[in-house]
Amino acid sequence: MNKAKRKSILIGSTIAAAGIAGAAAVSHAITEYLMRVALDRQAPKSMVKSQEKMMGEKQNRELVERIRHAATSLEKRVTETAEITAEDGTRLVGHWWPCEEPKRVVIAMHGWRSTWAQDFGVIADFWHDSGCSILFAEQRGQGNSGGDYMGFGLTERFDCRDWVNWVNEKTDVLLPVYLGGVSMGAATILMASGLDLPDNVAGIVADCGFTSPHAIWKHVVQDNFHLSYDGIRSAAANDLCRRKIRTTADSYSTTEALKNTDIPVLFIHGSDDHFVPVEMTYENYKACASEKHLLIVPGAEHAMSYVVDKAAYENAIRNFWKLYDPRVSARL
């Protein structure tokens, strides 16, 4: 091989190596950015501009305005603040709305980058008027609760159990407790179903919950951002997870919890959800080993099932209570 050819091969190899290194650097930067979007309390400023793209759907302004109005109204009515310290020392804040002569308690876990009032303002009156005392939790890493990071249910599932214990200490009589959640809040309570929960936890109502952090991140990256998930470095993502929330993205899932639960579950999802696809609820439903019920709301986008078909939603919950309130009373 002559000198000129050797030089050409060397230059080509150097360029190729530089390209690979550059691609790796870009991949790492994208992974780091997406993990900041997913977990950090303070979202990157650029995320605000891409919120609609991330959700994968255009918001119905009329419904959004109804939800905003209901949230403002709920915040004005609920004035009793609750505080607990989580197992890892994080300060958690909730909002307690007691009911006179309650029949049951609902513990409500809101979604990712949302608030307790925004996710439950529209349904709160129905719960309360139906004889429910309600504990609206503020998820860690959000709102007034402590913590720098969100855990996509991986860490919040333990907080859910702590709130159940708080409710049982707060109420004089052990009432049936139902865990309610929307989006990441739904994933939180579904993951909590795999824990050793008190006997008076009567059921779970999970609205548009995903199956695992890894699965929802993959969906958003591929389907909503239209990026190749192959470019996301899973090892780097897990390393960032471990540093921020002390566990990895694939350490647990809703399906793993549901395979081992005996708590009845009512699954709810909108058919037109582009943020958390309805197929994830089908997957959760299939995995669930306990008694289970399913409500799919035609035409509803993410977290919009209640405002799209209020009658069907309320009817499903009433039937759920009728089935499982008596069982808790019999056990206690």
pLDDT at 19: 42
Contact criterion met (CB below 8 Å) for 253 and 212: yes
Q: What is the spatial distance between Cα 70 and Cα 79, in angstroms, rounded to a whole number?
A: 15
String of DSSP letters for 244-310: HHSS-TTS--HHHHHTT--S-EEEEEETT-SSS-HHHHHHHHHH--S-EEEEEETT--TT-HHHH-H
Q: What is the spatial distance between Cα 178 and Cα 134, in angstroms, rounded to a whole number?
A: 10
Q: What is the mean pLDDT of the chain?
A: 89
The length of the chain, given as a count of residues: 332
Domains in the chain, please, with CATH?
61-212+252-331 (3.40.50.1820)
What one-letter code names the amino acid at 152? F
**166 versus 4: which is more confidently predicted?**
166
pLDDT at 60: 78
Residue 308's closest CA among 295, 320, 321? 295
Residue 230: both structure tokens together:
């192959």
With a pLDDT cut of 90, the percent of the chain lying above it is: 71
Q: Please give the C-alpha separations between residue 41 and each of 175, 238, 315, 316, in angstroms, as whole numbers.
A: 34, 18, 36, 34
Residue 59 has pLDDT above 80, yes or no: no
Q: What angle do CA 190, 193, 197 make, to 5 degrees?
A: 145
Residue 329 has pLDDT above 80, yes or no: no
Residue 76: both structure tokens together:
């004005």
Q: How far is CA 211 from the centre of its chain?
A: 10
Burial of 130 (0-12, 13-18, 19+ CB in 10 A): middle
Q: How does pLDDT run across 255-273, given as a tens digit for each residue?
A: 999 999 999 999 999 999 9
Q: How does pLDDT run across 64-101, given as a tens digit for each residue?
A: 899 999 999 999 999 999 999 999 999 999 999 999 99
Maximum CA extent, the chain: 94
Q: How does pLDDT run across 273-315, given as a tens digit for each residue?
A: 999 999 999 999 999 999 999 999 999 999 999 999 999 999 9
Q: How does pLDDT run across 229-244, given as a tens digit for each residue?
A: 665 557 778 888 999 9
pLDDT at 2: 57
Q: What is the spatial distance between Cα 70 and Cα 319, in angstroms, rounded to a whole number?
A: 25
Mean pLDDT of 184-209: 98
pLDDT at 17: 38
Mean pLDDT of 322-332: 86
Q: What is the spatial distance between Cα 331 and Cα 13, in angstroms, rounded to a whole number?
A: 72
Residue 330 has pLDDT above 90, yes or no: no
Q: What is the spatial distance between Cα 316 and Cα 206, in angstroms, rounded to a whole number?
A: 12
Contact criterion met (CB below 8 Å) for 96 and 77: no
Mean pLDDT of 133-139: 98
3-state SS, residue 136: strand
Residue 165 has pLDDT above 70, yes or no: yes
Q: Phi/psi of residue 138, each to 5°?
A: -100, 120
Q: What is the spatial distance between Cα 154 and Cα 38, in angstroms, rounded to a whole number?
A: 13
Contact criterion met (CB below 8 Å) for 191 and 254: yes
